């Protein structure tokens, strides 16, 4: 009588299966944080690159306007017809308003994205300090009475630009940026959550905390 050979299939034991599951969980636990860290560093590097390119547009503006800093609102205003004011609109001849460099790669805030930029223009804030506005008022009062509203507005913007530039040039410690993240977005990448670009063209994490209005 012929005997049939039987082949036994060795299955995983419960212990072996648990070990495999444990290894998979461990690998996932290591991979996910590493991926997030790499993503944060990538966003941070992209943000710094954006700030440098935006700075180049500011330089082009200064070259075309006898060294004057752009003078505008610190953020664009959102209207039913689109955005008004703000640095992207002012520099549109040198850098497209819809250029991706105006948006931080880490910015996912819908209100921020609606303004078209992730960055706050710091001179647009400090131009309204009492010290600067007092000097601007003195210059305007000294103008001829027959000066047109257009002429007065030009003089006002030019005076603000010169005063703000002088103030930034006195910042020997490099504390105050020209352009900075409008919100904290880089906690995992820089330890200091906001990036900025400075008068000398350097882009880096800012040294001080700003309580800038959220866009």
Q: What percent of the chain has pLDDT over 70?
A: 79
Cα torsion 90, 93, 97, 102 to 10°: value is: -80
Is residue 211 within 8 Å of 120, Cβ to Cβ?
no
Which two structure tokens, joined as six digits, stand for 61? 């503006």
Structure letter (DSSP) for residue 78: E
- Gap between the Cα atoms of 143 and 124, Å rounded: 24
Q: Which residues, 6 or more positions from 84, have their beta carbon under 8 angstroms from its beta carbon?
A: 76, 77
pLDDT at 5: 54
Q: What is the pLDDT of residues 133-171, one digit of tens each?
A: 999 999 999 999 999 999 999 999 999 999 999 999 998
Q: What is the pLDDT of residues 9-41, one digit of tens each?
A: 555 676 666 776 777 777 666 665 655 666 778
Domain locations in the chain as residue ranges:
14-205
């Amino acid at each position: 009588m012929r005997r049939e050979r039987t082949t036994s299939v060795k299955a995983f034991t419960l212990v072996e299966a648990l070990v495999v599951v444990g290894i998979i969980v461990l690998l996932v636990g290591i991979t996910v944080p590493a991926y997030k860290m790499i993503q944060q560093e990538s966003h941070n590097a992209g943000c710094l690159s954006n700030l440098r390119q935006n700075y180049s547009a500011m330089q082009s503006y200064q070259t075309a306007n006898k060294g004057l800093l752009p003078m505008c609102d610190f953020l664009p205003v959102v209207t039913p017809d689109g955005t008004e004011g703000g640095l992207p609109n002012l520099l549109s001849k040198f850098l497209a308003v819809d250029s991706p460099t105006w948006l931080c790669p880490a910015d996912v805030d819908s209100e921020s994205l609606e303004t078209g930029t992730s960055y706050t223009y710091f001179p647009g804030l400090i131009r309204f300090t009492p010290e600067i506005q007092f000097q601007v008022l003195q210059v305007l009062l000294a103008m001829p009475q027959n000066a047109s509203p257009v002429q007065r507005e030009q003089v006002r913007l030019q005076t603000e630009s010169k005063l703000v530039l002088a103030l930034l040039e006195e910042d020997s410690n490099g504390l105050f940026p020209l352009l900075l993240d409008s919100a904290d977005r880089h906690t995992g990448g820089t330890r200091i959550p906001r990036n900025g670009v400075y008068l000398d063209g350097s882009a880096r994490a800012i040294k001080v905390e700003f309580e800038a209005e959220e866009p």
